[in-house]
Every structure is written in C-alpha cells, then in structure tokens.
Structure 1
Amino acid sequence: MPERSLEFGKFGARGIKGGEAIARQLDRLAGGITSPVTTRRGLLARLNYLTRSPRARRAARAAGLTVTDRTLRAWQDGTRTPSPSNLRRVEDAYRQVRRRNVARHLLARLNRGGRGTRVEIHPLNQSQVTRPHQRVLEYRTMNVRRWENLVGAWAQGDTAALDEHWVGEYLSDLGSQWGSYEYVTNIGFAA
C-alpha cells in the first residue's frame, strides 16, 4: 500500500494537493464577485457586501478588516484609495465571509439528501517525468456522500485540515492506489 508522498516532484511530476484542488472547486461553486478588487467596481462590490449589515461588519472585522468606519466610508465615496495591503485585506475578508455565508447551502447541495456528489479525479501531470519513473495513472471517479468535514474546513480557510480530511477519509476508497492521487491536476464536481 502506498504511503504519503515525501518528495513530490523529485522526478518532474507536477500537480497540486487534493485539498487545494477541492478548495478551488468549492470557491468556484460559491461564486461571488468577479470584478478584481483593484477596480473601483470590484472594490465597491466587496465593501458593500462586507458592510451591508451589522452582522456583516462584525464578520469582516473578525476576518481581518480592521479599518475604521470613517475609512470605509472614504473608500466607498472615492475620496481615499486603499493601499495594496488593505486591498488584500478587503479581498481576504470578502473570501472568508463569503465562504461562511454559503457553506451551509453548498453543503446541502453536495450531500443531496444522502445521495452525495460524483467527484472526478484527474491524475498528476507526468509529462516531464522520464519513462522509467512514470506511474500508470488513470482518471478516476468516486461518489462522496458526506461533505461536512471538507466544507467545514474550507469555510474556516484551513487548507491543512481540508487536505487531511481528503486523504484520510476519502482517498482510501480508491483502494491500494490512493497514494497515487494525493497530488492531482484537478478535482472536479458540481452541485
């Protein structure tokens, strides 16, 4: 039985951790504002989302957006422009608050009343690996019925826990080949 990858990429393989691929797909499913935060429209949309209610303001502050209300109003009015570090804080706070807000709805969609969701696992890219070191990998599918741990770790922004749950609870369903799918090019699913 294969173990966890200790020296991933040593022979030229390319890919990302499965937990990171799941987080990317969950972010796509969560949707949100598509305009970049660096544009006026994108900044205003994020600020409106983060300040539309007292609850949203508290969540934004908890997520790291700690500027004063006066500064937020100046940014919204256009009299002042946020620094690049504050733009990153706005984007990070928006992502965290958005994840928490949609997690419950997304969880219900993925669990589908106990039927679960089909997950497609695209193996890592071995195009740069020499022939003797290549593994025989194939595209795999599996049905994930319980998404609570994955969506919970994603909503908290804990990528390490997300990866641990993915490897520890779900990859073992692939049998003896599970270690070959710890790193992937993509994991796809829809809800």
Structure 2
Amino acid sequence: MPDRNHEFGKFGARGVKGYEAAARQLDNLVEFIATPVTQRRGMLARLNYLTRTEHAKAAARAAGLTVTDRTLKRWADGKAAPSRKSLAQLEGAYRQVRRQNVARHLLQRLNQDGRGTRVEFHPLNQSQVSRPHVREVSFRTLNVRHWDRMVEAWAAGDDEAMDDAWFSDITADLGSDYGAYEYVMNIGFAA
C-alpha cells in the first residue's frame, strides 16, 4: 500500500485529510468564544483575552497581532472600529493563543495517564466511486495513547507536523490498513 494518496478523489471518493478532521475535533474540545468577532461583544471578549496581562499581550504579538496598544484601547473604548483585516488578525491571534493555553490541559485529558482516548474513524465516502475502484474500508475504533506530537502541532498550527503525527502516532496502530485512513469523513473522540 502506498504511504500517501497522490490523486485523492480521482474516481469520486470524498473526504478530508485525517489530521484536519482531528484538528477540527480538537478545536471543538477547546470551547472558543462563541460570539463572532464581527459583533462588538465577540471582539471585546477576544480583546480582553489577549490583553488582560503582559504575558497574554506578548503571546498575541507573537501570534501575529500587529496593531498598537493605543489602537487596542481605542477599539475597547468604542472610539474606533477595526477593519475586516484587523478583525481577521484578532481572530487568528486569539485562536492561536487559546490553543497554546489549553494544549497542556487537553494533552493530559487525551493521554489519561497512559490509558489514552478511544478514537472513531469514519471512512471516506465512496458512494460516487464505480464498483471496480471501490476500496474496502470500514468504520474502525482505536485507543490512541500518544497524543503529544499531534496536540503540539495543533497548538502551533503546523499542518505538516499534524499530518506526520497522524501517520506515525495515530493511524500506525491500525496495522497494514493505516493508509486507508489518510482521508476520512469524520474522526470522533472526546476527552
């Protein structure tokens, strides 16, 4: 079996990269601020999260928030409104800082002192694939005990490292069938 799919979807299969589905599930576990950044309440909540301490401000700067402290204060006081570009920058910095802040706690919950977390692999959708090209892939469950590299890459927003962790740490325990789960419809786990 080849290590990676080179022409995924050529025969009509549908799905997302496994690490993307896992990252989406990790995002669901984090509990980000629900109010959108485009509403004043959501913007103020993110500003408060990113500016309440000097450490939080430094993390926000490192995450790409480039506006000045004066501008942040004007936004908070309602004397100025951020542009769409600034709102996107604020949202990106908030998500990255929030991931970094909860990564250690999330890692403890997922590893559970070596017991790990049960993961459900929902296979890719092959309903549009012609019969001769259909691959036998079924729903699988696996207890994943090593989340360290995956959570570290997720917190850093490093897609390449997440993809590597997906293959070497998560799906490797599926045996010789691991390559069939490079693309999936969904990944399910809770912590």
Q: Report what 1:172 is aligned to.
A: 172
- The answer as to whether partners of 1:2 and 1:177 remain within 8 angstroms in 2 is no
CA shift for structure 1 position 79:
1.5
The amino acid that maps onto 2:166 is W
Moved more, 155-164 or 128-137: 128-137
Corresponding residue number in structure 2 for 1:13:
13
Classify the secondary structure of the residue corresponding to 1:46.
Answer: helix
Residue correspondence of structure 1 range 35-50 to structure 2 within 5 A? 35-50=35-50
State the percentage of identical aligned residues: 66
Tell me, yes or no, if the aligned pair for 1:154 and 1:162 is still in contact at 8 Å.
Answer: yes
Task: Tell me how far 1:131 sits from its aligned partner.
Answer: 2.1
Task: Tell me the equivalent position of 2:65.
Answer: 65
Q: Which runs of 5+ in 1 are unaligned?
A: none
The CA distance in 2 between the partners of 1:100 and 1:77, in whole Å, is 28
Q: What CA deviation, in whole Å up to 9, does each residue of 1:158-179 have, x standing for no partner?
A: 0110111111232121112111
The answer to whether 1:77 aligns with 2:97 is no
Distance 2:75 2:128 in 1: 47
Matched letter for residue 113 of structure 2: G
Q: Which residue is equivalent to 1:89?
A: 89
Cα displacement string for residues 25-77 of structure 1 (whole angstroms, at most 9, x for unaligned residues): 11110112011111111111101100011100000001000101110011111
Asked if the contact 2:18–2:166 (Cα under 8 Å) also holds between the matched residues in 1, the reply is yes
- SS of 2:185's equivalent? strand
Mapping for residues 19-30 of structure 1, pairs under 5 Å? 19-30=19-30
**C-alpha root-mean-square deviation of aligned residues, in Å?**
1.0
In the superposition, the TM-score normalised over structure 2's length comes to: 0.97
Paired residues, what number? Answer: 191
User: Shift of residue 3 of structure 1?
Assistant: 2.9
User: Unaligned stretches of 5+ in structure 2?
Assistant: none
1:150 aligns with 2:146: no
Q: Quick one: which amino acid aligns to residue 143 of structure 1?
A: N
